[in-house]
């Protein structure tokens, strides 16, 4: 598994590239898409400023790469309950609060984030957000919302092939880009 660490200076370029990738992913039935640079989305990411990757010891061995991949979900979305989700490489915001993204995996389609200390529910704990596509429809599941550590959140999971009950016994939430 490869962990990528975007630099602050490349964030704007990555956000623009991510928006293009998201549009191309919506039109694809594949789990990966070409980013135009000869690589596929389907890589992992970790936010930070180092610009290099290494062995994290937590999510598996990683190797150094020349290409930095961006979180595939960057953008703004409206869910089926009327909530707005704004996702950047650094955070996921919605009506429930703000979540500081620490890791993601575009192949396995998950994000690990720390709940803000101002969140009404489970402040300072850790969350895992999973996403999946059903045709061209995006769904997400906050499969962990109260992890004591990032590792606890990473250990969670959701069942993407059961959109009605695969999110901890509940339905996955449909999201549309806005």
Cα maximum dimension of the chain: 43
- Residue 69 pLDDT: 83
Whether pLDDT at 146 is above 50: yes
Beta strand 44-46 with 3-4 is: parallel
Q: Which pLDDT band holds residue 18 (cuts at 50, 70, 90)?
A: very low
- Residue 167 pLDDT: 97
Residue 111 to residues 37, 86, 127, 132, 177, Cα–Cα distance (Å): 24, 14, 8, 12, 18
Q: What is the pLDDT of residues 95-115, one digit of tens each?
A: 999 999 999 999 999 999 999
Report residue 16: phi and psi, to 5°: -65, -45
Report residue 85: phi and psi, to 5°: -115, 125
Residue 57 pairs in a beta bridge with: none
- Residue 122 pLDDT: 98
- Residue 68 pLDDT: 56
What range defines the domain where residue 111 resides? Answer: 3-177
Check if the beta carbon of residue 68 is closer than 8 Å to that of residue 75. no
- Residue 106 pLDDT: 97
Domain count, the chain: 1
């Amino acid at each position: 598994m490869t962990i990528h660490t975007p630099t602050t200076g490349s964030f704007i370029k990555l956000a623009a590239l991510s928006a293009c990738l998201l549009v191309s992913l919506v039109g694809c039935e594949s789990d990966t898409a070409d980013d135009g640079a000869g690589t596929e989305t389907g890589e992992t990411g970790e936010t930070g400023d180092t610009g290099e990757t290494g062995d994290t010891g937590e999510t598996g061995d990683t190797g150094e790469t020349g290409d930095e991949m961006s979180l595939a979900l960057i953008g703004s979305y409206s869910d089926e309950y009327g909530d707005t989700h704004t996702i950047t490489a650094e955070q996921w915001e919605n009506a429930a609060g703000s979540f500081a993204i620490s890791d993601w995996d575009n192949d396995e389609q998950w994000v690990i984030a720390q709940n803000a200390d101002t969140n009404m529910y489970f402040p300072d704990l850790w969350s895992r957000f999973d996403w999946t596509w059903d045709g061209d429809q995006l769904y997400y599941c906050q499969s962990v919302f109260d992890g004591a550590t990032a590792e606890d959140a990473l250990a969670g999971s959701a069942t993407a092939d059961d959109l009605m009950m695969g999110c901890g016994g509940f339905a996955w939430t449909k999201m549309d880009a806005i």
